[in-house]
Amino acid sequence: PHLVDIAKDKGVNRFIYASSSSVYGLRDEENVTEDLALLPLTDYSKYKALCEDILLKKRESGFSTLILRPATVCGYSPRLRLDLTVNILTNHAVNRGNITVFGGKQKRPNIHIQDLTDLYVRSLEWSDEQIDGKIYNAGYENHSVGEIAEIVRKGVGDKVSISTEPSDDLRSYHISSEKIRHELGFQPAHTLDQAVTGLTEAFRIGAVPNPLTDQRYYNIKTMQSLRIT
pLDDT, position 55: 96
Question: How far is residue 86's CA from residue 191's CA, in Å, rounded to a whole number?
Answer: 12
pLDDT at 1 over 70: no
pLDDT, position 12: 96
Question: How far is residue 91's CA from residue 35's CA, in Å, rounded to a whole number?
Answer: 35
pLDDT band per the 50, 70, 90 thresholds, residue 17: very high
Q: Residue 2: CB partners within 8 Å, gap ≥ 6?
A: 54, 58
For the chain, how long is the longest CA-to-CA vector?
58
pLDDT tens track for 20-48:
999 998 888 888 999 999 999 889 999 99
pLDDT, position 88: 96
Return left, alpha or beta for 180; rule: phi > 0 is left, psi -120 to 50 is alpha, else beta.
Answer: alpha
pLDDT at 101 over 60: yes
pLDDT tens track for 178-214:
999 999 999 999 999 999 999 999 999 999 999 999 9
pLDDT, position 142: 85
**Least confident span in 53-62, 138-147, 164-173:** 164-173
pLDDT, position 151: 96
Report the mean per-residue pLDDT for the chain.
Answer: 93
pLDDT tens track for 44-80:
999 999 999 999 999 999 999 999 999 999 999 999 9
pLDDT, position 28: 80
Neighbours of 3 (CB within 10 A): 13
Question: How far is residue 119's CA from residue 29's CA, in Å, rounded to a whole number?
Answer: 26
Question: How far is residue 15's CA from residue 23's CA, in Å, rounded to a whole number?
Answer: 19
Which letter does DSSP use for residue 54 in this model?
H
pLDDT, position 137: 97
pLDDT at 229 over 80: no
